[in-house]
Amino acid sequence: MSGALVPIKFGTDGWRAIIAREFTFANLERVAQAYADYLATTKEESLPSHLVAVGQASFDEVESSQVRGVISKATGGAPTLVVVGYDRRFLSEHFARRAAEVMLGNGFRIALFQEAAPTPLISWAVKELRASGGIMLTASHNPPDFNGFKIKAPWGGSAASDTTAAVEALVDANPAKRSAVSSDGRELLEPAIESYREQIASYIDLDRLRRSQQTIVVDPMHGSGGRWVESLLAGGALKVETIRGDRDPLFGGVNPEPIDSNLSPLKKRVVETKALVGLATDGDADRVGAVNERGETMTMHDVVPLVLLHLARNRKMTGGVVRTFSQSVLLGRIAAAHNLKIHETAIGFKYIADLMLKEDILLGAEESGGIGVKGHIPERDGLLNSLLFLEAIIAAGKTPSEMLRELHLEFGEFHFGRRDLQIEVERGKKLVKGLASQPPSGFAGRKVRDVQTIDGVKLVFEDESWLLFRQSGTEPVLRIYAEATSINQVNLFLDEGQKVAH
């Protein structure tokens, strides 16, 4: 790099870059200092009075000074607090400590996790401790050579776009200041971790799950989900087996994203153990994936509608439904059948979280496995959602494939597929821009009924099937998504889409 400063750009959820190339200790200090400067310039500003409208009982409004992280008077009016956590990637614990040093150097208190933890736990701790914000060192589902810097907002969710834009603008405004970690605030985290367990136990009927005479397989993909799900389900008749539960910064040679191409060990083990379901989480455990009893991967276009039906029918819960631009048309049909308002946003959970902060939202979901639910923080939580999907299966008394068949009989049969093409960012953007400015009237022998450009370019056909082209916001990948009424049609759309991309 010959000493040149690399530009820092936040994508859909955080700044991510390749370790030892752009993601270095020096560049991390630049980002951490910018975040410290942001907190210093905004800490006296009042935050929205209506912070969170989640849960069967909404969080009480609190004074902005409390939300900013001025802990109780028992701390003696100590400086504002920043929670720092990390995943199991290469050097993550060292990057986290360096970020903590920068926060200390800028006069903040820290609560630094002592071992790799799920992102939703860091978010929960920020909310529980009324911290100014949080830092999570993770690149989520990205390839093993990446790491990243996620910012967590005071209410326990991903920072909004205006926050990350403000942090970007402050990069290099001041040289990084560091102080040695003499007090890491670990004593603050113990009650927050315990209250997170209590939250899950109050949200999920764990006793009912534990009584089940079934076997399930859990696959954290070597990520920071570890044995969390297994530990929450321990102590009953339910047999829980965790595979790939140890730390491996190379994630067994695959990207830690719970999609079909990366779940071969889980699919194999589900069949071998005759398990009811396989549950997977991504590298930092904020996303969920699933494998049915046949060892077949279920897409989020299968899982999310089934979870929504469980919440609406079995739990009798109400509220709006948010789907990102690449989520299923089935969510709209289910919402209409239950008189639930449907919203559609750009891709990225921060857009869902924004609506969860403003409105009464029952469920918000993205295609990549991120689900937010009413009664919890406005954040993806792969652990909670794994258990919620298992609860839906146990409540139905059917196998996942039987549940999906019934879903299709009632609301229509739709299938989903996605292909990720390695394409330079600028080339991908040019392709998407060209399709938006001159969209085709027909595609793959089908008439294009509508062209939508909320995020990328979506070609919508007459039976509500669709094909979407979108350049990733976090890596040099052009994603092509398709949803159609048959697997063959999905593959045809994807094949033809891939030809256009090449």
Residue pointed to by tokens 């140890």: 246
User: What domains does the chain contain, in order, with CATH numbers?
Assistant: 15-188 (3.40.120.10), 204-411 (3.40.120.10), 415-501 (3.30.310.50)
- The helix/strand/coil state of 17 is strand
| DSSP assignment string, 262-284 | G-HHHHHHHHHHT-SEEEEE-TT
Share of the chain above pLDDT 70, in %: 91
Q: Name the E strands within 44-161.
A: 81-86, 109-112, 133-137, 146-153, 157-158
447-462 pLDDT, tens digit per residue, is: 999 999 999 999 999 9
pLDDT at position 63, please? Answer: 31
Task: Compute the CA torsion angle 17, 154, 377, 337 (nearest 10 deg).
Answer: -90
pLDDT score of 1: 43
Q: State how beta strands 320-324 and 361-365 pair.
A: parallel
Give pTM, 2 decimals: 0.90
Low-confidence ranges of the chain (pLDDT < 70): 1-4, 43-79, 473-474
Cβ–Cβ under 8 Å, residues 500 and 427: no
Q: Tens of pLDDT along 390-446?
A: 999 999 999 999 999 999 999 999 999 999 999 988 899 999 999 999 999 999 999
Give the distance from CA 94 to its chain's centroid: 23
- State the pLDDT at residue 53: 33
CA-closest candidate to residue 239, choices 121, 390, 388, 389: 390
Residue 195: HSE in the Cβ half-sphere, 13 Å Cα cutoff = 15
Q: Please tell me the predicted confidence (pLDDT) of residue 474.
A: 61
Angle at Cα 223 formed by Cα 218 and Cα 228, nearest 5°?
Answer: 50
Predicted pLDDT at 69: 34
Q: pLDDT at position 45, please? A: 37
Sign of CA dihedral 308, 214, 255, 465: negative
Cα–Cα dist 311/253, whole Å? 36
Report the distance separating Cα 125 and Cα 201, nearest Å: 16
- Taking a C-beta distance cutoff of 8 angstroms, is the pair 304, 331 a contact? yes
- Find residue 152's DSSP bridge partners: 134, 158
At residue 60, the pLDDT reads: 34
Dist. CA 342–CA 323, nearest whole Å: 8
